[in-house]
Structure 1
């Protein structure tokens, strides 16, 4: 299988990290090289984003301006994620022949950092030059299930509220209705094993 850039998207607690780990081990067991390289990254800008998401006062109090600030930071972090010459996505794919699996990409910026059409256009403008991945896997989880899983999280991030996640879920639906790249939408209410099986079947059918 050719080296792929695969992105998993979904609201918080939809199972992205779990499925990414399983997919990485699947590729490795098939004899391929694979790595998880997610956003925000572990770089300087990515660490700043994580700090701001845990403590919004660190960044800015106004919610609209906070979303704008985060959109700028994510775009800068995303550029480094893709193109840095040490462990950037395209270096890993083209030179090192790795499958690169990311939890979150520019779709998350469009879903999380926009509240209306004007803000969507602003965030879209920051991200429009970033290439589509080879495959988007959207884990569509019921809001109630995500909130139930968040009940067990001690330190919640600024976006992990019922109101925000409902808006994010709605944004994802609109984004992927008009997306023209390859996308696999999975009902994330299924078991971990069934979700992973659907991913592997799709990969074999479309990329083998």
Structure 2
């Protein structure tokens, strides 16, 4: 299988990290190299984003301006994620012959940092030059399931509220209804094993 850039998307607690780990292990078991490279990154801008998301710093008290500033920061961090010459996505794929699995990409910015059409257009403009991944796996789970899983979370982030996650879910539905790239939508309420097998079956059919 040629080296792929695979992105897992979904609202908080959809199971992205679990499925990324399972997919990585599957690819390694097939004799390929694979790495998980998520957003925000571990770079300087990524660390700033993490601190802001966990309320450790306050960039803006106004929610609309906060979302706008986060969109700028995520776009800058995303550029680093793709193109830095140490462990950037395209360095790993093109030079190291390695699959890259990311939990979140520009779809998350569109979903989380847009509260109306004008803001959606703004975020889209910041991200329109970033290339599509080879495959998006969208884990679609009911809001109630996400909220129940968040009850046991050690850390709560600023976007992890019922109203915000409903808006995010609506945005994801809108984004992927018109997305023209390669996408696999999965019922995230299925078992971990079922979801993993759906992803593997799709990969083997489309990319082998």
- Counterparts of 1:1-208 in structure 2 under 5 Å? 1-55=1-55, 58-208=58-208
1:154 Cα deviation after fit: 3.0
SS of corresponding position for 1:58: coil
User: In the aligned structure 2, how far is the partner of 1:81 from the partner of 1:154?
Assistant: 26
1:155 Cα deviation after fit: 2.1
Q: CA offsets, 1:91-138, max 9 Å, x none?
A: 000000000000000000000000000000000000000000000000
Whether the 8 Å contact between 2:6 and 2:134 is mirrored in structure 1 is: yes
Higher mean C-alpha displacement, 57-66 vs 167-176: 57-66
SS of corresponding position for 1:133: coil
Whether the 8 Å contact between 1:56 and 1:158 is mirrored in structure 2 is: no
1:57 Cα deviation after fit: 5.3
Structure 2, unaligned runs of 5 or more: none
Question: Runs of 4 or more off by more than 4 Å in structure 1?
Answer: none
Q: CA offsets, 1:24-74, max 9 Å, x none?
A: 000000000000000000000000000000117521100000000000000
TM-score, with structure 2 as normaliser = 0.99
CA RMSD of aligned residues (A): 0.7
User: In the aligned structure 2, how far is the partner of 1:90 from the partner of 1:18?
Assistant: 24
Summarize the Cα distance change of 1:82–1:12 in structure 2 as closer, same or farther, 3 Å threshold. Answer: same
SS of corresponding position for 1:77: helix
SS of corresponding position for 2:152: coil
Summarize the Cα distance change of 1:164–1:56 in structure 2 as closer, same or farther, 3 Å threshold. Answer: farther
Whether the 8 Å contact between 2:51 and 2:57 is mirrored in structure 1 is: no
* Number of residue-to-residue matches in the alignment: 208
SS of corresponding position for 2:47: helix
